[in-house]
C-alpha cells in the first residue's frame, strides 16, 4: 500500500481531511510534524496541506519553505516521488522554488487576490478546467478539458511572475494543470470566473517532470458528494465521490506505476 506523509507545519489546519482523502483511495496517510524528520524518506509521496503556517508572517508559506524538512522533500522529489501542495502547501512549494521548478530559485509568487468585491480572504466554490492530464502525476485520471468543481479559501492565491517569458515556457512544457473557468469551460479572465486575478487563470501548476503540483483550490474538500454545495440528499449517495478525488487517485496510480528506489 502506498504511504503518504502529510506534512504538518505550525498553523496548518487541513491535515485531517487531507489524510482522510488519501486513505479513501487506498493509500495510507500519516500526519508527520515538520520537526519529525526521522525516516521521512521511507514514504512514497508527500502532501503539504492548507492552513496558515507560521501565521503567514512575512509572506504566506515562506517560513515553512525555508525549514530543513523541505530539503528532504526536495531530495525525494528528485527521485521522482510525487509531492502535492494544497493552498498554503502550494504557497510553500512556490516559495521553495519547487514550482515551477525550471530554475533552482523562486520564479513565481502567490500574490494577494485581486477581487472587486472582497479585499483579502475569499472563500467560494469555483470551476477548474483540466489543462494538462498525462504529463502530471495528479491529473492522470482526468480527461483534458474536463471541468472539476472545488472550493477556494485563501487571501494570497494569485499566480504571478515578473518574468515575462515564463508563462510561455509553462504552456510549452504543459505545466499548467488546472485553470479557473465557468461551468461550461470558458476561461474568461474576469471575476468571478477568475476569483483572484491569477495569471492565465492558473489554479494549479506542476513542475516540468510532472511529479510536483501546487494547487490553490482544495481537492480534499471536494472528494465526496456530501461536501458539494450542489448536493441533493434525495438524489445522491452522500459518499459518492466527486471528481476532485481523482487527484488523489491519480497520485496513487502514479506511485503504483513507478519504482522510486
Q: What is the DSSP string of 158-199?
A: EEE-S-TTHHHHHHHTT-EEEEEE-TT-----STTTSSS--G
Report the pLDDT averaged over residues 184-193.
Answer: 95
C-alpha to C-alpha distance for 161 and 219, rounded to whole angstroms: 25
Cis peptide before 197 (omega within 30 of 0): no
Report the pLDDT averaged over residues 138-150.
Answer: 93
pLDDT band (50, 70, 90) for residue 225: confident
**H helix runs in 38-125, sequence order:** 62-65, 69-78, 88-95
- The number of domains in the chain is 1
Report the pLDDT averaged over residues 134-162.
Answer: 94
Phi, psi of 83 (to 5 degrees): -130, 125
How does pLDDT run across 73-86, given as a tens digit for each residue?
999 999 999 999 99
Q: What cell does 192 get?
A: 468571478
Q: What cell does 221 get?
A: 474538500
233: pLDDT strictly greater than 60? no
Range of the domain at 238: 3-257
pLDDT at 230: 62
Q: What cell does 101 get?
A: 521548478
14: pLDDT strictly greater than 80? yes
- b/e for 78-88, b at 16 or more Cβ within 10 A? eebbbbbbbbb
Please report, for the domain that includes residue 22, its CATH number.
Answer: 3.40.50.880
101 to each of 153, 173, 201, 212, how far by Cα in Å? 25, 12, 19, 9
pLDDT at 11: 94
- Hey, which residues are catalytic here? 87, 218, 220
Amino acid at each position: 500500500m502506498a504511504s503518504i506523509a502529510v506534512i504538518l507545519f505550525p498553523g496548518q489546519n487541513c491535515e485531517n481531511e487531507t489524510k482522510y482523502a488519501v486513505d479513501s483511495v487506498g493509500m495510507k496517510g500519516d500526519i508527520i510534524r515538520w520537526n519529525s524528520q526521522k525516516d521521512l524518506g521511507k514514504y512514497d509521496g508527500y502532501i503539504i496541506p492548507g492552513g496558515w503556517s507560521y501565521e503567514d508572517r512575512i509572506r504566506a508559506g515562506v517560513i515553512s519553505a525555508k525549514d530543513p524538512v523541505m530539503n528532504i522533500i526536495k531530495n525525494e522529489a528528485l527521485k521522482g516521488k510525487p509531492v502535492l501542495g494544497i493552498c498554503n502547501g502550494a504557497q510553500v512549494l512556490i516559495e521553495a522554488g519547487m514550482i515551477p521548478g525550471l530554475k533552482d530559485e523562486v520564479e513565481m509568487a502567490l500574490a494577494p487576490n485581486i477581487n472587486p468585491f472582497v479585499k483579502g480572504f475569499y472563500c467560494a466554490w469555483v470551476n477548474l478546467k483540466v489543462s494538462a492530464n498525462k504529463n502530471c502525476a495528479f491529473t492522470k485520471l482526468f480527461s483534458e478539458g474536463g471541468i472539476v468543481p472545488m472550493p477556494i479559501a485563501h487571501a494570497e492565491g494569485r499566480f504571478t511572475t515578473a518574468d515575462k517569458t515564463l508563462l510561455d515556457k509553462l504552456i510549452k512544457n504543459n505545466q499548467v494543470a488546472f485553470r479557473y473557468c465557468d461551468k461550461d469551460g470558458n476561461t474568461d479572465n474576469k471575476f468571478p470566473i477568475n476569483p483572484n486575478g491569477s495569471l492565465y487563470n492558473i489554479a494549479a501548476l506542476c513542475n516540468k517532470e510532472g511529479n510536483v503540483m501546487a494547487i490553490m483550490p482544495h481537492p480534499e474538500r471536494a472528494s465526496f458528494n456530501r461536501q458539494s454545495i450542489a448536493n441533493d440528499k434525495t438524489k445522491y449517495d452522500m459518499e459518492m465521490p466527486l471528481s476532485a478525488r481523482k487527484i488523489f487517485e491519480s497520485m496513487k496510480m502514479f506511485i503504483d506505476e513507478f519504482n522510486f528506489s
